Amino acid sequence: MSIELRDTDVIWRNAKLATMNPAIKNTYSANVDGDSIDGLSNYGILEQHDLIVRDEKILAILPTGRVPANQCKIIDVEQRLITPGLIDCHTHLVFGGNRASEWEQRLNGVSYEEISAKGGGINSTVNATRNSSAQQLEIVSQKRLNALIAEGVTTIEMKSGYGLDLINEEKQLNVVRALAQKNPIEISPTLLSAHTVPPEYKYDPDAYIDLVCDSILPTLWQKQLFEAVDVFCETVGFNLKQTKRLFATAKRLNIPVKGHVEQLSNLGGSELVAEYQGLSVDHIEHLDEKGIEALSRSGTVAVLLPGAFYFLRETKRPPIALLRQYGVPMAISTDFNPGTSPFASLRLIMNMACVQFGLTPEEVWQGVTIHAARALGRADSHGQLAAGFMADFIVWDAQNPVDILYELGHNPLVYRVYHGEIMHRDHLNRLSELNYLNENSICDN
Ligand code: NIG
Ligand code: FE
């Protein structure tokens, strides 16, 4: 390959590159309980290679010194690990209030029904979100986002779904847009207006779906406020018929779909998502073989959310062995939300995916890189260290990918590179401080 490097190019040298590129096969082969894992069999490790960045993309990965460096900048990372930036493909990060006291009540023995009867649960977050200004929502969301950015997340999905009317869904998505404009992170916004039935439609959920399909969805799509449509298809959410109506509306506008499905029961939502060639099915603890078969045909990603499983003290695990058997790509995500997964740490969730769901560390890494990228429709541009992909990567003070999810409580991130822009961890800490000061100055007014 003949490449003439420019002065503005950057060479990352002396790294262990976990490329996550399926084309790069190492001798390592994973085996779990006697079953070999379909798909990738390694982290795509490369050593003695230069990772060369031009502008916001990876220009090439070549054996060290293959091309003359000319005047370009060389950063020696002294044998540290470089991985793709983490991708958190399922969050409800923008919301008002929190549900800590509700959780405390539950731990003191108050039943869920009693809490709900007093206006608790998802609708309490809807209330708090409706009663917050866009500015207030942005301040609280920024703090959550800082935590994820600081630990290496470079792409994140954020859902609406706590507004549940046109004005408040728009407000939530406008906050998502503001966060995307002000932060060094790529944000994929999702419309989740069909999250739960709002109180004013309690006795007529079909009329609420009409409102979503006829007004909220087309209006906010026209304003380019989201890139996919999600639904909570569940006995306590929306039924299959309502979900189908929503997906048909999305399809008419060519909008990709995904779904919170098979979390508490099996309604067949996964098959419906597959029928619409959806991006992902999320939660899926109650998914059955028929659903898995449908996913394997449609290429839909299975998104596993161990934070919600843990926080709700669920006992039924997602059907990991069958997902492996059918070669369904599995992604992992925080599902950050106030009710079921208040964890702004993807590294913690990666650890939980191993301990609670029995995934291998390698599967978990795929789950926050290539498969998460696919769940966000970004498989060709994100989630791998490869020529032509976005220069989104992390230099870790670590030797092996497993180190990142093994030892928690301190942050091994040294550099975070987002679209080619280099940030040292001290810079990230400084950013969090600035946001904190900003918040205090707003509170003083
Ligand atoms: O992904 N399953 C539905 N939605 C969220 C929980 C939302 C909430 O409780 O506020 C979830 O777990
Ligand atoms: Fe969720």
Q: Residue 267 corresponds to which tokens in the numbers above?
A: 């309604």
Residue 320 scores a pLDDT above 50: yes
Ligand 1 centre distance from Cα of residue 351 (Å): 21
Instruction: Convert the pLDDT of each residue in 119-152 to its tens digit.
Output: 889 999 999 999 999 999 999 999 999 999 999 9
Instruction: Convert the pLDDT of each residue in 34-45 to its tens digit.
Output: 454 444 447 999
Which residue has tokens 């085996």? 31
Q: Which of 129, 190, 193, 232 is the pocket-test mutation for ligand 1 (most atoms within 8 Å of CB)?
A: 232
Closest ligand 1 atom to residue 125 Cα is 10
Instruction: Convert the pLDDT of each residue in 84-113 to its tens digit.
Output: 999 999 999 999 999 999 999 999 998 877
Q: Which of 157, 159, 233, 260 is the pocket-test mutation for ligand 1 (most atoms within 8 Å of CB)?
A: 260
Residue 80 scores a pLDDT above 80: yes
Q: Is the CB of 338 under 6 A from ligand 1?
A: yes
Distance CA 370, CA 382 (A): 7
Provide the β-strand partners of residue 63: 49
DSSP H or E segment with residue 150: helix 134-150
DSSP H or E segment with residue 155: strand 153-159
Q: How confident is residue 226, by pLDDT bands cut at 50, 70 and 90?
A: very high
Report the residue count for the chain.
445
Q: 309, 176, 194, 197: which is closest to 244 by C-alpha?
A: 194
The pTM (predicted TM-score) of the whole model is: 0.94
Per-residue pLDDT at 442: 46
Which residue has tokens 């560390």? 361
Per-residue pLDDT at 30: 46
Dump the DSSP string for 91-137.
-----SS--HHHHHHHHTT--HHHHHHTT-THHHHHHHHHTS-HHHH
What is the percent of the chain with per-residue pLDDT over 70, rounded to a whole number?
93
Instruction: Convert the pLDDT of each residue in 231-279 to its tens digit.
Output: 999 998 999 999 999 999 999 999 999 999 999 999 999 999 999 999 9
Residue 381 scores a pLDDT above 90: yes
Distance CA 442, CA 397 (A): 36
Distance CA 257, CA 249 (A): 10
Per-residue pLDDT at 26: 66
Residue 27 scores a pLDDT above 80: no
237 carries a ligand binding annotation: no
224 carries a ligand binding annotation: no
Ligand 2 centre distance from Cα of residue 148 (Å): 17
Ligand 2 centre distance from Cα of residue 259 (Å): 9
Distance CA 161, CA 175 (A): 13
Per-residue pLDDT at 37: 47
Residues with a beta carbon under 5 angstroms from ion ligand 2: 335
Ligand 1 centre distance from Cα of residue 334 (Å): 11
Answer for the pair 44, 22: CB distance below 8 angstroms, yes or no: yes
Q: Is the CB of 340 under 6 A from ligand 1?
A: yes
Residue owning the nearest CA to atom 9 of ligand 1: 339
195 carries a ligand binding annotation: yes
Residue 425 scores a pLDDT above 90: no
Average pLDDT across the chain, whole number: 93
Q: Is the CB of 284 under 6 A from ligand 1?
A: no
Closest ligand 1 atom to residue 122 Cα is 10
